[in-house]
Amino acid sequence: MNISNSGHSVDIVEVTKTFANVTAVHKVSLNIRKGEFMTLLGPSGCGKTTLLNMVAGFETQTSGAIQIDGKDISDVPPYMRETGMVFQSYALFPHMNVFDNIAFGLRMRKLPAREIKAEVERALDMMKLSGMEGRRVRQLSGGQQQRIALARAIVIRPKVLLLDEPLSALDKNLRLQMQVELKELHQKTGLTTIFVTHDQGEALSLSDRVVVMSRGEVQQVSAPIELYTQPANGFVASFIGEINALPKARCQKSGQDFRFEVCPEISLNGRQPARQELKDGQMVHIFIRPEHIEIAGPRHNGANIVKGNVAAHIYQGTHTQTRVNVPGIGLVELRTKGAAAIDQAPLGSEIALSVPLDEAVILPA
C-alpha cells in the first residue's frame, strides 16, 4: 500500500537561527535524499527542534535557505509546505476523539467528508489503530497516543515526515516496539523522514544516515556503521557509544611502524589510521571501545599489554563491564561476554590487559 507522496528531497542550505542572544543553529547545510530516513542526533539544547521547526515553517531562519525538491520554501506558510510533523509532546487535542484528531489536517484542507473518512481509515489501518476511532484521546495509553500522532502526520500524505523525539516518553519495551513500527512505516511509505532523538541507540538502529549536532553545528553526517567505527572528531567518538579516551599520546613513526607513547611507561603499537596522515612526533588522541580491550591470559606476552588493578565489575546479563585502574592512563573500561571476568579478575587484583589499536580511533590532537 502506498499512502505517501514519496520521493521528495530536502535541502538545508547554510541555515542559521538566532534568538535574541542565542545562536540555536549555526550555518547548517544538509541534503536529505528522496526517501531517506535521516536522524538529527545531539545533546539537549543543540538545536534539533529548532532545525526541524524551520523545515516545518514554525520558525523562520535568520539566514540561509530551505528547499524541497530544489525549490526554496522559505516564503511558504507551514500549512502549505506539505510536511507532516509529530511534536516532542504529542500535542493531540484532548477533547476530540481519535477520528477527529487524525482528520483535523484534512478538514483544514476542506476535503469532502467521504474522502476524509477513507483517508483516516487508511491511516488508522497503517498505524494499527482500527476500531479505536471513537475513543477519547485521554483514555489511551502513551503508545496508542503516539500512534495517533503519527497517523495524524501521515494522513495528509506529506512530502516529508518530521518527527521530534516521538518515542522519548515511552518506556523501554514500548519504545523498542515503536522503533520497529516506525521502520516498517518508513519501508511501506518510502517517505522522506527527518527524525530527531538524543538517544544514540535509536539513531543507529533506525537511520539511513545520522547527523550529529553539537551547539547548533553539524559535527558529522554518516551512515550508522561509519559513525560508530570512524567518528570524525572527539565529540562524536565520545557521544556515540562508550569509548575510552586515552591521554594525549606522541606518535613515533619509523617507516611503516607506528608507536604511540601514552606516558613514559606505556607505548602502544599501531598503524597508520585510515584517514589521517600522521607525522613523527605529532600528538594524537586515541579512543578505544570497551569491547576491543581484553583481559590478557598468563601466556600473553605480545605487545600492547598494560597492567592495572580491577576497580569494579558491572554485570549486565549479556556482558560484564569491568573498570581497571591503569597507572599512567587512569580508568579503563572493558566489556567481556557473560560473567567470566568476575571470577577471572577478582576485585582489587592486578591484571594484564591487551589493548590492540587495530580498531581504535586515532585523531590528531
Residues of this chain that interact with ligand ATP (CB under 6 A) are 19, 22, 24, 42, 44-50, 88, 198
In this structure, what is the dihedral angle of CA atoms 345, 350, 356, 362, given to the nearest 10 degrees? Answer: 120
CB of 194 to Mg ion, least distance (A): 13
CB-based contact 220:231 (threshold 8 Å): yes
Pick the closer one to ligand ATP by CB: 64 or 328: 64
CB-based contact 46:214 (threshold 8 Å): yes
- Among ligand ATP, Mg ion, none, residue 24 binds (CB under 5-8 Å by kind): ligand ATP
Pick the closer one to ligand ATP by CB: 40 or 102: 40
Phi-psi region of 326 (alpha: psi -120 to 50; beta: other; left: phi over 0): beta
CB of 90 to Mg ion, least distance (A): 14
CB of 59 to ligand ATP, least distance (A): 8
- Among ligand ATP, Mg ion, none, residue 152 binds (CB under 5-8 Å by kind): none
The closest residue (CB) to Mg ion is 49
Where does this chain touch Mg ion (CB under 5 A) — which range of 41-49, 100-108, 269-277, 353-361? 41-49
CB of 199 to ligand ATP, least distance (A): 10
In this structure, what is the dihedral angle of CA atoms 81, 101, 7, 188, given to the nearest 10 degrees? Answer: 170
- Among Mg ion, ligand ATP, none, residue 45 binds (CB under 5-8 Å by kind): ligand ATP
**DSSP H or E stretch at residue 114:** helix 113-126
Q: Is 197 in the site for Mg ion (CB under 5 A)?
A: no
- Among ligand ATP, Mg ion, none, residue 314 binds (CB under 5-8 Å by kind): none
Please report, as a single letter, which amino acid is at residue 321.
Q
- Among Mg ion, ligand ATP, none, residue 19 binds (CB under 5-8 Å by kind): ligand ATP
Which residue, chain included where needed, has cell 481509515?
121
Please report, as a single letter, which amino acid is at residue 160.
V
| Residue 251 to residues 9, 83, 281, Cα–Cα distance (Å) | 44, 50, 5
What mask of x and - would describe binding to Mg ion in positions 42 to 61, judged by CB under 5 A? -------x------------
Pick the closer one to ligand ATP by CB: 5 or 207: 207
Task: List the Cα angle 63/65/67 in 5-degree steps.
Answer: 165
Burial (0-12, 13-18, 19+ Cβ within 10 Å), 63: exposed
- Among Mg ion, ligand ATP, none, residue 313 binds (CB under 5-8 Å by kind): none
**E strand spans, 248-355:** 249-254, 257-263, 266-270, 283-288, 294-295, 305-315, 319-326, 330-337, 350-354
Residues forming contacts to Mg ion in the complex (CB under 5 A) are: 49
